[in-house]
Every structure is written in structure tokens, then in C-alpha cells.
A and B are shown apart, each in its own frame.
Chain A
């Protein structure tokens, strides 16, 4: 790409600075060695060792907030990079055929290895112009509607769908509300739950709330190691709960939004490891890992009969977030026809049925259905 890339030193996060400085020093020495044909291997080696040691130190103890900042790193690989590095034979499909072509979401035919598929991905852009055009990855309703239209096309022709998630959130603006941001997202979520082709999603950077989920209902959810997925941005959460957006660091911890936290909560199926120093240190290596993981999942999902694929996806979301205790409580309540257990003293005072209805009804049997 012709566009100028952001400067690595300028873009470095505070906790990365020592590493970037070391890397510059190494680079300078190597350049010097080339120019002067001096052998500086002995000088370079300790610096490299020091850098690796520092990297391991820093990356083994990253805070959730630091991970959020890595997910937003200006040098982090974004959709454009993945398209350039691993997708082939790409044909972009524009527009929702109703209102506009929202550049915050890319939809395209693409080939990954030997699999032809439909790619649906948030787009952030690298240069200022690109970022402006893509609205920093914040889609409008027409973006979600475009995505749905292309996913339906994929369904019709049996193409598996791959979605790459990287958005701070769906755009909160006047036009977005006027054109039904909420229902556009809801429609996608509902329709994706019954798409008759395999759907694989990968959070490659920011998984911002409903804006992420709007292209994120899938059979298999992957997340890069330093990506995050959250119900609200840490800043937004801090502004509401602590009345201070500077408490974002605290909110990032409280919200449990890192890949490992999400894995523990059973919300993601696979954490994709990033190279030491983060995905931005090695785009190609990251992209190839992502490619291989997606490919093997597509091949697995292709083996499932359609009915199994659909019921598996339904089950995935039917149970999502339910702890063991809740599953048990629902089972028990269902066995009582949804009624509260008899021994319960603090019967909800609000129920109109309350005293009169409850006692008279026979317990422990299902209410006749269709009554």
C-alpha cells in the first residue's frame, strides 16, 4: 500500500517504549555494520537478548487495560492487512442495496487456502483518509444490513462465512438512530443464529459490544490473545459507574474482557496466541496462525450435517453465560411448571396470583400445554 505507515517510535505504548528503543539501537548497529563492513555481532547479541528478556517480562504481566491498548495499537494488523496477507481472489461486494455502502464493514468473496468463503469484517483504515471513510470501524445500520445481505447470499450458495471483528462499537449518531441502528443489529443477530452455512468469527482487535455481536453470532468464536470483547468500552463503563472516564483501567479489570477471562467464562471457543510482543510485531506470523486456525475449523464444521450445525449453534447460544447453578435452577423450576418451590417463604409479593392461586393449584405437574 502506498499510504505512509505510522512511525513505530511515535506509535509505541508507554510500556513498550524501552523495547522500541532497544530495537532502534539494534537497527542502528546493524546498519553501521553493513556500511562499515565491521563485525558487530558481539555488540548486537546482548542487546537482542536483553530485548527478548524485557519482552517476556512485560508481556507475562500485562494488565487488562494494557491489553485493551494493545488491541487498539495503531500498528496492530487490521482487516486490510489480513486481506493482503492471507485472503486471495478477493472480490469486494459493496452496498446494502437500499441506502449506502458503509465502509466500516467490508464484505467480499474471498479464498482462504482452498476454501472459498464470504468475508465480513469491520474495517478501520490505516491512513487518516481511510479512517475517516471507515468511520474508525464504527458501522451504521446500512453496514449491518449490507453484512446481512451478503451473508444471505453466502447461505444461498453454500459458502461458509468468516467474520473478523474489530470495532469500538456501532456508531452512536443521529443518522444511525434514525435508520434503526438497534433493529439492524438485532436483525443480524437473529438471522445469523439460523444461517445454514458454517459461520466462524474471530475478534482481531476490539470487540465493542452490540456493534461486534452484529456480525458475531457464529458456530465458533475465536479471539486473538490481546484482543478484547466487552459489553461496554472501559471508558464508557468508568464514566457511568465511577463518574469518571479516567477510571477506565479499573473498569477494564472489573469487566473481565481479556481473551483468557472470556475463555474462562465460556464465551469464546478458542484463544489464538499472538507472537511475543503482540500481533503488531509480526503481522505475517499472526495472519498465518489466524488462517490456519480458521481453515481447520471450516473443515470441521463442513463435516457436520446441516441439522447438527444448526442445533449446535442454537444450543451454543441457548446456554451461553448460564452458570451450572442457573442451569440447575431452570431445570428444577421447569419440573415444577415454572412455579416457585413450596418451602419458599418470601414468596414474591407482587404476583397477583399470590396467595389465592398458588395454594389451589396442584404442584409438581406441568400445566397442560396450550391451555
Chain B
């Protein structure tokens, strides 16, 4: 699996921060208010989990859950130091135990399950506990009938957990299959970088795939590809714009517009009826297969039933949408450009 190293210079620190892309000097304490985006070249810097919570969730709406799930060194893996030591050191710095943070939140007043990956935590790599927490997030979204939003950042699977980590790709996807069958909504946001086993599993299996400008997104890392094909890679290879051009993602969204875009997508993609958000029951599958062998008569009945169901769903969705439109905090009086993000941005400035 690809493994992209975290670069220190991508992270802001000190009084002044240089833009890693154009070198522009910026006041470090202004950075978060500007979504960690360079005002000159609009380079999107690596954000922390706490930054992401501010960028995406309504103020004070995020409740972090399953914080105490802790990875273990099942393989007794050792390179320069043991994996256990590495985990302890990383956790201390990150103030969290794993590379993904999950919880409940509201986005523009709507309940969601929110997952955020932390590239600083061992390259955002997916081990057993990351896979477990992502799976729990999917299941929470299913149980609560609310959308799932995943902010992805990962160098791939976690080598230190061997094939155990590889299998997390299957675990997360199997959970997503159920969410999908139940009609649940899942939006992923691919940030720089999202590669390897995470891209090859839950990150790309969303109903809507958004990406940040310039984000490196791919299966294999660029170095691995270069070593394999022994030729130069094309300009902009594996960047979000490259993927958009080749039809691999739905849209590129700048960070200041992200929250608003998420909200607006959710307005379109409302679960038909939360009560119907149930995994396809085994009995239904059985019934469906017996009907198909019974021929036309049964089929006709089933069709009528599903048409009725769909109508009911439509009604429910319309009602929901009306309710939601009223509930939207920044709908109506504000103009297009005034996104939810910018609104919060203003209130932040007031604080200072």
C-alpha cells in the first residue's frame, strides 16, 4: 500500500507561517479563521482534527465518541522502535488514540455522523481500530438515520498491523454496503493526501465524493508508480483536478465552501423515510426470489407495492425538505457567497 510521509512544512507553527506552496508569510493565529488556506495561492494546508470540527460542524455540536478504543500491537511489530512505543508516542502528541475521530455533530442544524482522519497520526494509516471506528460511524449513521460525512486523509493501510489492516478495507465496505442498501447518505471529502487502502475502500464508496483543491488522491503513491514505470509522471498527476478531469470524483470544493456544500448536498439527498432505513431484511430477499420464480402475477403485486411505498416516501421527503428549508440557518436572506463557513468566520473575528 502506498504510504505518503507527513511533511512538517505542511503544518503551521510559530508566530509566522510560510505558505508551503508559494512562500507567502501569514500570521499563524489568523490561519484557522482563513481555513488554513493561503490567501495568495489558495494552497490548502493540513488541518488538525480540531480544525476540521470547526470547519464542518456547527459550533459546540460535535460530540466525540468511542475515544477510548485503542490499537494494539498484535504482530509484535518492530522496525526502529516497537509499534507499541510508536503508538504511545504518537498518541501523546496527537492527544488522541487513533488516526480517526468519530462522533455526532450538526451541520447547518442537521444531525450527522462525522468522521475525521488525522494524517499526522502515523500517516492516517488504517489499522484495525481505524477500520473499526469507521465501521462504527457507518453503523451509527444507519441506526440513527442520519448522513455520514467522512473527512479522509491517509497514506493507506497500516503496515504495522499486517494483513489485519488490509482486511479493514473489507470491513468498512461491508458496512457501507448495508448503509447503501438501506438508503442512507454518505459523503466523503478527500483531503491531501488520500491514497492506498483508504482510497481503495470507504473513501471512494460514497454517494458523493468531494475533494479539496490540489489534494493528492490515488491508489499507489507517486514514488511507487515512478519506480515501477521508470518514467516521469504527467503534470498534476493524481491531484484532485486530474481526478476530476478523468471522471473519478464529483466535485472539488474549496475549504471555505465545504460546509455549505455539504449542507446543500444533504438538502437534495434526504433519506426517503427514516422509518424505512432498515437493512434489506433477509425475509424480503427470500420473498423476492420466490416471487420471481412464481411468474408475472406475483411480480405485478410486488411492483404495485413498491410504487405505493415510493409515493409514501416522496411525501415524507417533501415534508422533510420543507422543514429543513426553514431550519437552514443561512438560507434565504443571505446571498450565495455567504456560506455557513464564512458566517462562522465572522463570529470568530468578533471574538478577537
Q: Chain A residues in contact with chain B, CB under 8 A?
A: 170-174, 176-183, 185-187, 189-191, 193-194, 196, 207, 209-210, 213-214, 217, 229-232, 236-237, 240-242, 254-257, 262, 265, 267, 305-307, 310-311, 313-314, 317-318, 320-323, 325-326, 329-330, 333, 337-341, 344, 347-353, 356-357, 367, 369-371
B201 touches A344 (CB 8 A): no
Identity of the chain A residue whose Cβ is nearest the Cβ of B83 in the assembled complex: A254
Q: Judging by beta carbons under 8 Å apart, are B174 and A314 in contact?
A: yes
Cβ-defined partner of A210 (8 Å) among B1, B70, B218, B224: B1
Chain B neighbourhood of A217, CB < 8 A? 170, 173-174
CA of A325 to CA of B132 in the docked complex: distance in angstroms?
Answer: 13
Whether A173 lies near B228 (C-beta < 8 A) is yes
Q: Give the chain A neighbours of B157 by CB distance below 8 A.
A: 209-210, 231-232
Q: List, sorted by A's number, 5 A–B pairs whose CB atoms are closer than 8 Å.
A: A186-B203, A257-B163, A344-B68, A350-B48, A353-B63
Q: Do A254 and B95 contact each other (CB < 8 Å), given the known contacts A174-B237, A185-B219, A210-B166?
A: no
CA distance A172 to B2 in the complex (A): 10
Q: Which interface residue of A186, A240, A329, A357 has the most chain B CB atoms within 10 A?
A: A186
Residues of B279-303 contacting chain A, CB below 8 A: 282-283, 285-286, 289
Chain A residues contacting B27 (CB-CB under 8 Å) are: none
In the complex, whether B333 has a CB less than 8 A from a CB of chain A is: no
CB of B135 within 8 Å of the partner chain? yes
Q: Does B177 sit at the interface, judged by CB under 8 A? A: yes
Q: Is the CB of A177 within 8 A of B136?
A: no
Size category of the binding interface on chain B: 35 or more
Contact partners of B177 in chain A: CB under 8 A: 190-191, 193-194
* CB <8 Å contact, B96 and A348: yes
In the assembled complex, the Cα of A171 lies from the Cα of B157 at a distance in Å of 17
Interchain CA distance A240-B78 in the complex, whole Å: 13
A370 to B276, CA, bound (A): 13
A209 touches B166 (CB 8 A): yes
Chain B 1-29 residues near chain A, CB threshold 8 A: 1, 3
Q: Which B residues, 119 to 133, have Cβ-Cβ distances below 8 Å to chain A?
A: 128-129, 131-132
With contact pairs A183-B204, A183-B248 given, residues A323 and B159 touching in the complex (Cβ less than 8 Å) = no
B150-177 at interface with A (beta carbon < 8 Å): 157-159, 161-171, 173-177
Instruction: Report the Cα distance A171→B129, complex, angstroms.
Output: 28
Complex Cα spacing A170 to B1, Å: 10
Known contacts A254-B78, A256-B162, A307-B282; is-contact A172 B228 (Cβ 8 Å)? yes
Q: Which of B129, B171, B199 has most chain A Cβ within 10 Å? A: B171
Cβ-defined contact, B135 with A186, below 8 A: no
Q: Is the CB of A213 within 8 A of B169?
A: yes
Nearest CB in chain B: distance from A71 CB, A: 14
B85 in the interface, Cβ–Cβ < 8 Å? no
The listed residue with most B CB atoms (<10 A of its CB), out of A242, A317, A340, is A317
Q: By the criterion CB–CB under 8 Å, are A340 and B197 in contact?
A: no
Complex CA gap A240/B248 in Å reads 28
Q: Does B38 contact A (CB under 8 A)?
A: no
Beyond A209-B166, A210-B219, A323-B128, 19 extra complex contacts between A and B, CB < 8 Å: A172-B219, A173-B225, A176-B220, A178-B242, A180-B246, A182-B218, A186-B173, A186-B200, A189-B170, A190-B177, A193-B174, A194-B177, A210-B1, A230-B162, A255-B162, A310-B282, A311-B282, A347-B67, A371-B144
B54 contacts which chain A residues (CB < 8 A)?
A: 352
On whether the beta carbons of B50 and A352 are closer than 8 Å, the reply is yes
Smallest CB gap from A193: residue in B? B174
Decide if B285 touches A321 in the complex (CB within 8 Å).
no
A348 to chain B, nearest CB (A): 5
* Contact present for A317 and B171 (CB under 8 Å): yes
Contact assessment for B165 and A339 in the assembled complex, using a CB-CB cutoff below 8 Å:
no
Residue B256 is within 8 A (CB to CB) of chain A in the complex: no
Q: Contacts A190-B173, A210-B166, A348-B96 known; A307 to B283 CB distance under 8 Å? A: yes
Bound CA span A240–B204, Å? 25
Bound Cα distance A174, B225 (Å):
7
Residue contact B1 to A177, C-beta cutoff 8 Å = no
With known contacts A172-B225, A229-B163, A348-B67, A255–B219 Cβ distance under 8 A: no
**A369 touching B128 by the CB < 8 A rule?**
no
User: Is B335 in the interface zone, CB < 8 Å from A?
Assistant: no
Give every chain B residue within 8 A of A177 (Cβ-Cβ): 218-220, 225, 237-238
- Smallest CB separation, B123 vs chain A (Å): 10
Task: Give the Cβ gap from B273 to chain A, nearest Cβ, in Å.
Answer: 12
Partner of B69, one of A181, A190, A333, A337: A333
Asked if A231 and B64 make an inter-chain contact with CB atoms under 8 angstroms apart, the answer reads no
For A321, give the chain B residue with the smallest CB separation. Answer: B164
Beta-carbon nearest neighbor of A190 in chain B: B173
A190 and B174 within 8 A (CB): yes
Contact B224 A172 (CB under 8 A): yes
Most chain A CB atoms below 10 A, which of B67, B178, B228: B67
Listed residue (B60, B158, B166, B225) with the most chain A CB atoms within 10 angstroms of its CB? B166
**Residues of B contacting A173 with CB < 8 Å?**
225, 228-229
A326 to B161, CA, bound (A): 14
A310-B173 in contact (CB<8A): no
Which of B54, B79, B104, B111 has the most A CB atoms < 10 Å from its CB? B79
Q: Which residue of B lies closest to A368 (CB)?
A: B144
B205 contacts the other chain (Cβ, under 8 Å)?
Answer: yes
B173 pairs with A189, CB closer than 8 A = yes
Known contacts A174-B225, A333-B66, A351-B64; is A210 also within 8 Å of B200 by CB?
yes
Contact between chains at B136 and A306 (CB < 8 Å):
no
> Does A330 contact B69, Cβ atoms closer than 8 Å?
yes
Shortest Cβ gap from B69 to chain A (Å) = 6
B286 CB contact (under 8 Å) in A179, A307, A353? A307
